[in-house]
Amino acid sequence: MPKLRLKLRIRKSKGSGKDGSDGTATEPVAAEELVGGSEEETEKRPLEPFSGLPGFTAISAAKPLNLRDYEEVESYPLEEPWVYARILRHKQTSEYIYYVYEIALTPREKKLYNQIMDALYWELKPPPSDVDPVAYFHREARRIVRTFQIRMGRTPGISWRKILYYVTRDAVGFGPIDPLMKDPEIEDISCNGVRRHIYVWHRRYEYIKTNIVFDREDDLDNLVVKLAHMGGKHISVAFPVVDAILPGGHRLAATYRKEVSTSGSTFTIRKFREDPITIIDMVMGNTLSPEVAAYYWILMEHKRPGMVMGVTGSGKTTTLNALLTLLKPSVKVVTIEDTPELKLPLENWVQLIPRMSYGFGAEGKNEITLYDLIRISLRYRPDIIVVGEVRGEEAYVLFQAIATGHGGMTTLHAEGIDAAAKRLTSPPMNIPRGYIPLMNFALLIRRVEVVDRVTKRSRVVRRITNTWEIRDFGEYIPVHKWNAYEDKHELYPEKSFLLRHIMELVGWTEEQVRREIDWRATVIRWLAAKKMRSYQEVARVVREYYQNAERVYTKAVSELSEMKGFTEGKEVI
C-alpha cells in the first residue's frame, strides 16, 4: 500500500530526534490522547475545534512546515473524528496552504493494520455479480476487523474504529488522497511528480498547496496504478498515459513513471459533483441574473442551438448542464462526451461516449470517435444533440445536424466570440463561414476577481460576462453584458432577433415577450429565495411551468411577498 510522508510531530526540544529526520524530538501519541478518552468516548466526542494552532508540524520532502509562521483561516471536518481540513495563511507572505490533519496510527495500530490488510488480501472473495462491490467490501472489512478485535480480547490504547477508517481508506477509497476526495469544496487535485506538493483547486482559494507529498517514487507509482485500475483502465511502461472515469464520476488523467514526464508519475483528478450545479445555484452566486436566466430559458424551450465558451476550468460543462435542465421534459436528448459529466433530469436521454483503441496500425480501426457517435446519433431521431466539447472534425457533423433542424448545444475553448468563430473556421474543424450562424447564440463564462461586499477583500468568482446572438460570421449582437464595476448583469432584450423569431413562431407580442421574461425571472428568484436548488426540484418546477405558467408565477409572487427576500452573490461554483 502506498505510504505517504504525512507525519505529525510534537515540538518539545531541539536537537537530534530518535529518527534523525529533522532534529525534532518525537514520541508516539495515542489516538485517545488526541481526541480525548477511550474508543467508546471517541464515538461520542468529536475532535474539538481548532481554536489555535496545536503543537504539530507536518514534515514534507520539500521542507518542514513551521505552523508558528501560519495563522488559521478556517477548519472543517472531512470525516469526524479522524481527518480535518485546515486552511492556513502565512503571516508574512499571505500564502495559503491546505493542511490535511489526519489522526495517525500508533505503532501497535499500524501492526494490526498490516495484519488486517494481509487477511483481506487472502480471505476476501470476489463479490457476487448482483452486489455493490463497495458495500460488499465495507461489510467484509468490518467483519475481519471485528474478528481481530474478538481474537485479541481487551486492547487498551487501540482504536479499532480508527484502524477500520484506514483499512477502508486505503483498500476501497483513494488512499493517501482520500481526504481530498472527501472535501466537497475541492474541484481539482493535481500531483506534479514525486517529492512535489500536491495542489488542489479550492472553491474559495483557487489553486493552493497541500501538505501532502510523495517522497518515494514507488509509492506514487503504486497509487497511479491503483487509480487507473479503479477507473477500469490499464497503465504501464508500455501504455504510460491514461484517461479514465473513477468511481463517483471523477475524471482522471495520469502518466506513469518517467516515460512521458520528467518528474515521475503524475495525475490530475477533476472531481464530479453527484448533485450538479443548477441555474438556481448560479443565480444565488450571481454568476448570472434571474432575467438573463429567463432569457436562456426561453431559448432552451424553443431549442435554439448555442455554445458555451470559456477557458479550462471556467465552468463550461457546469453551465451547459444547468442550461439543459430548462428543456421541456418531452424532448429527446442525445449527449456525446469524451467522459460522462452531464447529469440531466430527463428520461428520454441517451448518453454516448467514445471508445479508445490501444492498438497500433490496423488494430486502431476498433476506435469509435466523437465523429462516429455524432453521425450515429442522427439515427436516434433526437430533438437536441449535445456534444460535451468540440475540438476536431466532429464539429462539422454537429453543424450539419443543426442545419437539418436538430437543436444542438456544445462547449468550446475560446476567450471570446471572435476567437471562437476563427477557431471553428480553421483546421481541424473547418466549419464553412456560412454555417456559423447555425449556432444561434454563444455565452462566455470566466473566472474574475470581485471585491466581497462584506469583507472588502477580493475573491475569484465565476461570471457569465457576455452573451451574443450570431446573425452571421463577424456579425454578433450583444444581448447581455456583465458590469464589472457594479458586479451586475445587464440584459438587452430589445436587441434580440432570436426573441423576434420566437415571437413570429408562437404568435407572441412584444408585451408578451417582456411578460415571459418577467414571469420566468420571478419564478427563478422565488426558487433561489427558497433555496430549491437541486436539479430534481428545478426540473419539477420547470415542468409545472410548462403545464400552467400562471399558476406557478402566482405562487412565486405570493410566497416572495411573504419573505424578507434573499441576497444574491454567494459563490457556489
The pLDDT tens digits of the residues spanning 471-506 come to: 999 999 999 999 999 999 999 999 999 999 999 999
- Asked if residue 214 lies in contact with residue 5, where contact means CB atoms within 8 angstroms, the answer is yes
Confidence (pLDDT) at 357: 65
3-state SS assignment for residue 486: coil
Q: What is the pLDDT of residues 326-349, one digit of tens each?
A: 999 999 999 999 878 899 999 999
User: CA gyration radius for the chain?
Assistant: 27
Structural domain includes residue 530: yes
- Tell me: cis bond preceding 128? Omega within 30 of 0 counts: no
3-state SS assignment for residue 59: strand
Q: Is the pLDDT of residue 97 over 60?
A: yes
Confidence (pLDDT) at 128: 81
- Total domains in the chain come to 1
**Measured between alpha carbons, how far is 293 from 287 in angstroms, rounded to an integer?**
10
**Measured between alpha carbons, how far is 563 from 529 in angstroms, rounded to an integer?**
8
- Asked if residue 432 lies in contact with residue 425, where contact means CB atoms within 8 angstroms, the answer is yes
- Asked if residue 39 lies in contact with residue 165, where contact means CB atoms within 8 angstroms, the answer is no
Q: Which three cell numbers stand for residue 194?
A: 514525486
**Measured between alpha carbons, how far is 219 from 240 in angstroms, rounded to an integer?**
16
Partners of residue 411 on adjacent β-strands: 308
For residue 360, the one-letter residue type is: F
Q: Is the pLDDT of residue 389 over 90?
A: yes
Residue spans of beta strands (DSSP E) within 316-474: 333-336, 349-352, 384-387, 407-413, 441-451, 458-472
Structural domain includes residue 156: no
Q: Which three cell numbers stand for residue 73?
A: 483561516
Confidence (pLDDT) at 364: 52
Q: pLDDT above 90 covers what percent of the chain? A: 58
Q: Is the pLDDT of residue 309 over 80?
A: yes
**Measured between alpha carbons, how far is 523 from 529 in angstroms, rounded to an integer?**
10
What residues contact residue 548 under an 8 Å CB cut-off, 6+ apart?
none
- Mean pLDDT across the stretch 192-218? 91
Q: What is the pTM of this model?
A: 0.77
Q: Among the listed ranges 133-137, 234-238, 356-360, which one has the minimum average pLDDT value?
A: 356-360
Q: Within the chain, how many helices (H) and strands (E) appear?
A: 17, 20
More confident residue, 376 or 272: 376
Q: Among the listed ranges 91-95, 190-194, 357-361, 527-531, which one has the minimum average pLDDT value?
A: 357-361
β-pair type (83-90, 96-102): antiparallel
Confidence (pLDDT) at 118: 86
- Mean pLDDT across the stretch 432-444? 96
**For residue 12, which of 23, 21, 1, 2 has the smallest C-alpha distance?**
23
Per DSSP, 203 falls in state T
Q: Among the listed ranges 145-154, 391-400, 406-415, which one has the minimum average pLDDT value?
A: 145-154
What is the CATH classification number for the domain harbouring 405?
3.40.50.300
Q: What is the pLDDT of residues 37-71, one digit of tens each?
A: 333 333 333 333 333 332 222 223 333 477 889 99
Confidence (pLDDT) at 61: 30
**Measured between alpha carbons, how far is 197 from 387 in angstroms, rounded to an integer?**
35
Q: Among the listed ranges 207-211, 245-249, 547-551, which one has the minimum average pLDDT value?
A: 245-249
Q: pLDDT above 70 covers what percent of the chain? A: 85
Structural domain includes residue 270: no
Structural domain includes residue 375: yes
Mean pLDDT, the chain, rounded, equals 84
More confident residue, 526 or 61: 526
**Measured between alpha carbons, how far is 80 from 216 in angstroms, rounded to an integer?**
29
- Cα maximum dimension of the chain: 85
Structural domain includes residue 330: yes
Q: Is the pLDDT of residue 354 over 50?
A: yes
Structural domain includes residue 142: no
CA distances from residue 365 to 337, 374, 392, 424, 454 in whole angstroms, order as listed: 20, 18, 18, 27, 58
**For residue 215, which of 189, 197, 236, 240 has the smallest C-alpha distance?**
197
- Note the helical H segments in 100-251: 107-123, 133-152, 160-171, 178-182, 217-230
pLDDT band for 22, please (50, 70, 90 cuts): very low
For residue 418, the one-letter residue type is: D
Structural domain includes residue 477: yes
- Mean pLDDT across the stretch 356-378? 74
- Mean pLDDT across the stretch 239-266? 92
What is the phi/psi pair of residue 240, to 5°?
-85, 5
Place of cell 488523467: 253
Q: Is the pLDDT of residue 422 over 80?
A: yes
Q: Is 418 left (phi over 0), alpha (psi -120 to 50) or beta?
A: alpha
β-pair type (441-451, 306-310): parallel
Structural domain includes residue 24: no
Confidence (pLDDT) at 358: 55
3-state SS assignment for residue 307: strand
**Measured between alpha carbons, how far is 256 from 224 in angstroms, rounded to an integer?**
7
Confidence (pLDDT) at 36: 32
More confident residue, 364 or 298: 298
Q: For residue 530, what are the domain limits?
A: 279-561
- Mean pLDDT across the stretch 399-411? 93
Q: Which three cell numbers stand for residue 473?
A: 460570421
Highest mean pLDDT among 19-28, 72-81, 106-115, 153-162: 72-81
More confident residue, 7 or 320: 320
Q: Is the pLDDT of residue 195 over 80?
A: yes
Length of the chain counted residue by residue: 573
